[in-house]
Structure 1
Amino acid sequence: MTENEVPLFLHLRREPFEYGLLPLPHLMFTDGTSTLKSVREKLLQNSFTYTVNNNNHNSNNDDNNNDNNGEVSRSFSRRVNATGIAESLQLSEDHARVVIDTLAAVLPEYGRGGGAADPLVHASYVDVDSIGADVYDLILFLLIQTYKKLVPRPHKDAASVADVWPSTSAFDGIFATLSPLQLMRSGRRFMPSQADEEAHQLHYVQKNLPNILGLLAEPSDNESADMQVLSSESFEHLGLLLHVRERGTEDRSLSQVAPFFANSDPDMPAVPVPVPQVLDWILEHICAAPDHPLERVLGGENGSSTVGDLDITKNDSYTSSSGSQSGAFPNGYNQQQKDAHLKLTFVEGVTKASVVKQPVDIEGSSVKVLNCHDSVIYILAPLNYATVNGCSDATILLGAVGKAVRVEHCERVNVIVPTMHICIANCRECNFYLGVNKQPIISGNNHILQVAPYNTFYPDLEMHLAQVGVDPTVNMWDKPLALGMVDPHDSLSHPAGVSDVQAESAAVLHPDQFLNFVIPKWFEVESKFQQTKDNPFILPNPYMAAQQQKYTSLEDMRASLRNTQLDDTKKRELASAIHGHFKDWLYASGNIRQLYCLQSNELDSREID
C-alpha cells in the first residue's frame, strides 16, 4: 500500500450475532453446508418476485422494470414469505414469521451495489409477508444460527459482584444452573468486553468463510466445471455480515470497493469471480473494528487478555489493540464509551443513581445498558438497537428503537420502550411496558414476567418514532411468543432433558396495577418540531378505564379536602401531615435519591451551558 492510498477495512457487523440468533432447534444445521444447500433449493422453489415502484409496493411474478404509466420500478427476485419458510424448514407459521421479522431487524440499512436497501429493511408490519425475505440473505442468516456465544470469563472482583446482587433470592435452588442471580454471584456470567465479543465473532466468520461463500456461489460456465464463482449480485449479500468502511469516507457497498467488481459497466453484468480469489481478498481486509483491526497474537503474552473460546486454540486467539473498555470513574457513572469506531454508547455499572442521556450524549445509534443496579436510567434518544443486560432493581426507559431491543439476565427491572422488535431472555420478576410493532419474543429461563402497554412520553417522542420507523398505531404488547427454554447459542451448560421445553411466557399486567410513568421535565428543551403532549400509543379500554377511575378518585379526594371545614391551624396540620407522609414515601421507595440525582444533573448541565 502506498503512502497516499486509503486503507480499506471490512468491518464485521455485530448486529446479526447480538440480535439475530433464535433459540429454535429447527434452525440448527450442524452438518456444515450440505443441508443448507438443499434448504436453499427448497426456498428457491417457493420463491417469488417482488416489485416496488414510486407509488406503491406490490408482489407479482414478472420482472418488468417499468409499469404501465412508465414509472420506474425495481424487481427483487428470489423472495420467500413466511409460508414458504415454514414449508421449507418444517416450521410453524408463527416461528416462520419470527424468522423473517428477526432477519428484517438485522439487515443493513445501506444500499447494495449503490442502490436502495433491501425492501424488507423499512417494511411496515403489514407488508413484511408480501415483501418476503431474499433467499440468499435468509441462507446466511440460517448459517450463523450455528454461532456459539463467547464463554463468560471469571470476574476479577467476585466480592464486589456479590455485594451488588442481593445475598438471597426466592429462586435460589430452583433451576440453579440457569439462575441469572447465581451465575452473576459465582462470576461465571461476567460479560466479556465488547472487543472480546467482536474478536469471537470475527474468528467465527473467518473459520466459516469458505462455507459462507459456498452457499452464495454458483458453478462456472467455462471448462472448469468444478470451479465455483461469485457474481456481483451474490457477493453483495455478504453485506449482512460485513460493513465496508474506508478511512475518511462514507459507507460504501461491497461491490464498489472490491477490485474485481469495482468500476464495472452498469449496463453490462460484471464477470463472476472465482471463490478462492474472493476468499483471499476478504481475509486480507476483514477486521472487527473499522479503524482498529484486531492484532493476531499468541494468547496471554505480555499480559494481554485473550478470548475465552473453547473452540479457539492458542494460536487462533485475538485481542483488541484498542485496549480495555473499563473507565476510571467512581460508581461507573461516567463509564459511557464514546468510541467513534465501534459506534456504541455504554451505560455501565450505575448503582444507586439516576442517569439521563439525550441525543447529544449518544455516540452512534446503539446503546448497551449493562450491570446497573437500584437505579433509574433515562435514554431519551432515537436508536437502532438497544441491549439491557445484567441489571437488577432498576427502571430503564429507552427512547424509540427502530430495529431491535434485547433484554437478558435481569431481575426486578422495569423496562419501558417503544420499538419495532424486542427479545426477552432469562429474566425474573420484570415488567415490560411496551409499544411494539411485532410480537415480543420470550426465551430462556424466565419467571414472573409481566407485559403492559407503553405508559409514558417525552417532548420529542413522536419525532423519534417517525425517525426510526416505529408505528404508534400498531402495538402487539399483549401477544408475546414463547420460544425454547434453552438457548443453543449459549456456551454455558444446560440441564439435561429440557432442550425442547418451551420458555415461560409473560402474563398481562392487570389494569388496576397499571400506572403512567412520569418523566421529569428538568431536561426539556425548546424544539422547533411539534412536541409530544401525550402517550402516542393508545391505551386499551380496560387500562384507559382504570386510569380514569384513578383520576376520578384523586379529584374526589382533592374536592373533599377543599370542602372540609377546618380552621387555619387544622389546615396547616393537615398539609404538614400530607407532606410528611409523602416525604416518608420518597425515602422508603428510594425516589428521593432520584430527585436529588436529577436535580444535580440539571445543575451540572446549566453550569456547562
Structure 2
Amino acid sequence: MTDAVEPSTSAREPNPNAILHPRREPFEHGLLQIPKLIFTDPVQALTPLKLKFASSTSLRVDSATLAEAFQISPDHARLVLDTLASVLHSESDPLVKARPDEVDSVGADLRDLILFLYIQSYKKLLPRSHSSASAAVADVWPSTSAFDGFLSALSPLQFVRCNNRRFMPSQADEEVHQLSYLQKHLANILSLLAEPTEGEGDESLVLTMEGFEHLGFLIQFGERGYEGIPLSQAAPFFANSDPDMPAVPVPASHIHDWLKQSLASALEHITERISAKENGPSSGSDQDVAMTDACPSSIKATPSARGLCFIEGISKSSYVKQAPDLRGSSVKVINCHDSVIYILGPMRYATVCGCSDTTIVLGAVGKAVRVEHCERVHVIMATKRVCIANCRECVFFLGVNQRPLMVGDNHKLQVAPYNTFYAQLEEHMAEVGIETSINRWDEPLALGVVDPHDSLSHPAGVSDAQAESATHLDPDQFTNFLIPNWFEGELPGSTKDNPFPLPDLYSASQQRNLKNLDEIKQMLREAPLEENRKRELSCALHVYFKDWLYASGNIRQLYCLQGE
C-alpha cells in the first residue's frame, strides 16, 4: 500500500500559457475493428487485467497474455501490440524501440495498454451538416446508394462529393469531440490508473508520478498550441519532486478535479476559436491552422502549430514537398484529384483521405499511414504500418514492416512491392526506423467491413462480415516509378536504387521487360530502312507516345515538371 499526502504547497502553479490538448494519434491511428475489444463497460472489462498484475513485479503484457485475457486470436493480439507501439507517447518505451522479433518478449506497459483498450469504445465524429445545404448533405450522408450496396456508410465517390471544409470536421471540431470524450470518461480512466491505499472514499485511490505520466498517452499540454511540455511540469502535483526520491502519490480525486478544470478550460478555448471562425469572414481553410506556405492557385499546403501539415484540394497538378518542410511533421493529404503528389521526406504519420485518380508518393513514414475513402489512387509508401479503409480500385506499392491492415468496405484493391526511390530515401528511412530487410507487403490482414467506431447504426448481421482483402499485382504489370530529380546537387543522398529487395517473380518480370526493350531498340537500330523511312517511324512513335500522354493524363505532369 502507498500513503497519500496533500500536494506540496511549494509546487509551482501550472503555466498559464499551457493549454491541454488531446493526443490525436491514438484516436486517428489507434482504433482497431476487433469487436471483442470494444467494451460496453470498459472499467468492468479491464479491471480483471489490472488485478492480474497487481502483485506482479512486471507491469508488461505480452501478446499471449492479451489473447488469453480477451479471447482473441494470436494475430489480433500481436496487432494490438504493434498498433499500440505506433501511437505511444514515449519514444523511450521498450515497445517502441523493439525490433519485430522482440515485440512479444518486451510486451506492453499495462497502464498504456489499459488506456489503449479503453478508447476502443470511442465513437468518431461524423461529418457535420449545414441547414443551407441540407439537400446536398441528404444526397450523400448517411443514405445508401447503389454504389454503397447494403452498407450505411459513405462510398469513396460520395465521400469525395461532400469532402470539403463545409461538411468535413475540421481539426478543431475533432479536438472538441475528443476533449468531450475524455471529459466524460475521466473518472473511469483515473480509477484504472490509480492504486489503492489506506483511507476511505475518494482518498482511497492515489496516483503515483509514474502512473500520472501515462496519461500522456491521451493528453498533452502545449504553450500557445505548441507541443513539448512534459505532463508532470504542466501539473502542480509533482513539479518540485526530488529527482533522487520517489514522488509522493497524490489522491486521484485531486488529480480528477485539476484535469476536469483543465479540460473545461480547453473546451472553452477551442469552442471560442470555432465560433470566431464560423462568425468571421468566409474562408475555405480552417483557422485552427496557420496558412504560412505560399502555394499556387487552389493548392493548400498548411502546416499547423502542432506539427500537422495539410495538403488539400490539389486538382490536375503535380505537387512536391521536400524534407526541410516535413521533419517531425504528420501529413494529411485530403480531397486531391487527378494529380501526382510527391512528399519526399521523413514523417511521423500520414493520412490520405478522399482522393481519386491520383498518384501519391510518401517518403518515409516512421509510425503509421492511413488511406481511406479513396478511388483509383496509386500510393507508394515506405512505412512501418499501414491501414487501408473504404477504398476502391486502388494499387498500393508497399515497403512496410508490418502486415497491411484492410478494414471497411474495400473493393478491387491490389498490393505490390515498393517500386521507387529518391536520393535521400535510405537516410530518411533510417531516421524514422524503417527496416529495408523486412517487407510484408504480401501479407494483408483483413478485419471487419463495418467500423464500430463510427456513430451510424448498421444493418443486423453486417457487423461480423470480414473486409475484402487485396490481390497481388500481376508481375507483368509491375514497373518502376521514376521520381524526377528536381534538386540535383542541392540535396545529396546515397540511395541509388530501390532499397527494398524485389521478390523473385517481380524481379524476373522486370528483367524480362528490360530485355524486351533492349531487343526492340536493337531491332530499330538495325532495321534496313532508308533515312526518310526512319524519320517516318520516329514521327509515328512520337505521335503514339503523345497520344498515350494525353490519354493517361501524364501530359499534365510533364507541363508541371517543366515549370519547376
Does the TM-score normalized on the shorter chain lie above 0.5?
yes
Number of the residue aligned with 1:33? 43
Number of the residue aligned with 1:245? 222
Number of the residue aligned with 2:24? 14
What per-residue deviation string (whole Å, max 9, x for no partner) do you get for residues 19-71 of structure 1? 000011011111241222123234668x7x7xxxxxxxxxxxxxxxxxxxxxx
What per-residue deviation string (whole Å, max 9, x for no partner) do you get for residues 449-493 of structure 1? 111100000010000000000001100000010011111101233
| CA-CA distance at 1:6 after TM superposition | 5.4
State which of 339, 342, 346 in structure 2 corresponds to 1:382. 346
| CA-CA distance at 1:176 after TM superposition | 5.5
In the alignment, residue 147 of structure 1 is paired with which amino acid?
Answer: Y
Number of the residue aligned with 1:550? 513
State which of 294, 300, 303 in structure 1 corresponds to 2:270. 294
Q: Is the 8 A contact 1:12 1:288 kept in 2?
A: no
Q: Is the 8 A contact 1:375 1:394 kept in 2?
A: yes
Q: Which moved more, 1:342-351 or 1:397-406?
A: 342-351
What per-residue deviation string (whole Å, max 9, x for no partner) do you get for residues 122-144 of structure 1? 22212111111001100000111
| CA-CA distance at 1:597 after TM superposition | 1.3
Instruction: Look up the SS of the partner of 2:95 in the other structure.
Output: coil
Number of the residue aligned with 2:445? 481
In the alignment, residue 526 of structure 2 is paired with which amino acid?
Answer: N
In the alignment, residue 237 of structure 1 is paired with which amino acid?
Answer: H
Between the two structures, name the one with larger relative contact order (CA 8 Å, sep ≥ 6).
2
Q: Is the 8 A contact 1:153 1:188 kept in 2?
A: no
In the alignment, residue 270 of structure 2 is paired with which amino acid?
Answer: L
In the alignment, residue 33 of structure 1 is paired with which amino acid?
Answer: V
How far apart in 2 are the matches of 1:404 and 1:467? 15
| CA-CA distance at 1:525 after TM superposition | 4.2
Residue 323 of structure 2 corresponds to residue 346 of structure 1: no
Q: Which moved more, 1:351-360 or 1:280-289?
A: 280-289
Change in Cα spacing, 1:395 to 1:5, as seen in structure 2 (3 Å) is closer
Change in Cα spacing, 1:369 to 1:525, as seen in structure 2 (3 Å) is farther
What per-residue deviation string (whole Å, max 9, x for no partner) do you get for residues 400-421 of structure 1? 0000000111111111001001
| CA-CA distance at 1:330 after TM superposition | 7.8
Instruction: Look up the SS of the partner of 1:264 in the other structure.
Output: coil
State which of 102, 119, 128 in structure 2 corresponds to 1:127. 102
Change in Cα spacing, 1:549 to 1:301, as seen in structure 2 (3 Å) is closer
Instruction: Look up the SS of the partner of 2:97 in the other structure.
Output: coil
Q: Is the 8 A contact 2:163 2:354 kept in 1?
A: no
In the alignment, residue 40 of structure 1 is paired with which amino acid?
Answer: K
Q: Is the 8 A contact 2:354 2:373 kept in 1?
A: yes
What per-residue deviation string (whole Å, max 9, x for no partner) do you get for residues 240-296 of structure 1? 012233459972432234221112122321111111211122233348989x94146
State which of 422, 427, 452 in structure 1 corresponds to 2:391. 427
Over aligned residue pairs, what C-alpha RMSD do you find? 3.3
Q: Is the 8 A contact 2:19 2:225 kept in 1?
A: no
Q: Is the 8 A contact 2:298 2:313 kept in 1?
A: yes
Instruction: Look up the SS of the partner of 2:228 in the other structure.
Output: coil
Instruction: Look up the SS of the partner of 1:520 in the other structure.
Output: coil
Change in Cα spacing, 1:131 to 1:533, as seen in structure 2 (3 Å) is same
Change in Cα spacing, 1:392 to 1:3, as seen in structure 2 (3 Å) is same
- Residue pairs, 1:160-309, within 5 angstroms: 172=147, 174-175=149-150, 177-181=152-156, 183-184=158-159, 187=162, 190-222=167-199, 227-246=204-223, 251-286=228-263, 293-295=269-271, 304=279
| CA-CA distance at 1:224 after TM superposition | 6.1
In the alignment, residue 68 of structure 2 is paired with which amino acid?
Answer: E
How far apart in 1 are the matches of 2:502 and 2:316? 32
Change in Cα spacing, 1:159 to 1:347, as seen in structure 2 (3 Å) is farther
Number of the residue aligned with 1:106? 87
Q: Is the 8 A contact 1:120 1:131 kept in 2?
A: yes
How far apart in 2 are the matches of 1:161 and 1:151? 12
Q: Is the 8 A contact 1:161 1:185 kept in 2?
A: no
Q: Which moved more, 1:204-213 or 1:516-525?
A: 516-525
Instruction: Look up the SS of the partner of 1:101 in the other structure.
Output: helix
Change in Cα spacing, 1:289 to 1:405, as seen in structure 2 (3 Å) is farther
| CA-CA distance at 1:4 after TM superposition | 12
How far apart in 2 are the matches of 1:4 and 1:260? 10
**Structure 2 gap segments, 5+ residues each:** 1-11, 281-285
Change in Cα spacing, 1:474 to 1:20, as seen in structure 2 (3 Å) is same
State which of 489, 497, 500 in structure 2 corresponds to 1:534. 497
User: TM-score under structure 2 normalisation?
Assistant: 0.88
Q: Which moved more, 1:239-248 or 1:118-127?
A: 239-248
Q: Which moved more, 1:530-539 or 1:217-226?
A: 217-226
How far apart in 2 are the matches of 1:289 and 1:580? 62
| CA-CA distance at 1:494 after TM superposition | 2.4
Number of the residue aligned with 1:336? 301
Number of the residue aligned with 2:372? 408
Instruction: Look up the SS of the partner of 2:430 in the other structure.
Output: helix
- Residue pairs, 1:521-600, within 5 angstroms: 521-527=485-491, 530-600=493-563
In the alignment, residue 336 of structure 1 is paired with which amino acid?
Answer: A
Instruction: Look up the SS of the partner of 1:556 in the other structure.
Output: helix
| CA-CA distance at 1:154 after TM superposition | 3.5
Change in Cα spacing, 1:366 to 1:5, as seen in structure 2 (3 Å) is closer
How far apart in 2 are the matches of 1:126 and 1:447? 32
- Residue pairs, 1:9-158, within 5 angstroms: 9-42=19-52, 77-110=58-91, 117-154=92-129
**Structure 1 gap segments, 5+ residues each:** 50-76, 111-116, 306-319, 603-609
State which of 434, 437, 448 in structure 1 corresponds to 2:401. 437
Change in Cα spacing, 1:461 to 1:28, as seen in structure 2 (3 Å) is same
In the alignment, residue 61 of structure 2 is paired with which amino acid?
Answer: V
| CA-CA distance at 1:104 after TM superposition | 0.3
How far apart in 2 are the matches of 1:460 and 1:128? 29
How far apart in 2 are the matches of 1:132 and 1:565? 70
Q: Is the 8 A contact 1:213 1:275 kept in 2?
A: yes
Q: What is the percent sequence identity of the aligned residues? A: 56
How far apart in 2 are the matches of 1:158 and 1:475? 46
Q: Is the 8 A contact 1:193 1:325 kept in 2?
A: no
Q: Is the 8 A contact 1:331 1:350 kept in 2?
A: no
| CA-CA distance at 1:598 after TM superposition | 2.1
| CA-CA distance at 1:17 after TM superposition | 0.2
In the alignment, residue 50 of structure 2 is paired with which amino acid?
Answer: R
State which of 414, 418, 434 in structure 2 corresponds to 1:454. 418
Change in Cα spacing, 1:545 to 1:440, as seen in structure 2 (3 Å) is same
Change in Cα spacing, 1:302 to 1:15, as seen in structure 2 (3 Å) is closer
State which of 331, 335, 339 in structure 2 corresponds to 1:371. 335
In the alignment, residue 208 of structure 2 is paired with which amino acid?
Answer: S
State which of 497, 502, 505 in structure 1 corresponds to 2:461. 497
How far apart in 1 are the matches of 2:35 and 2:226? 41
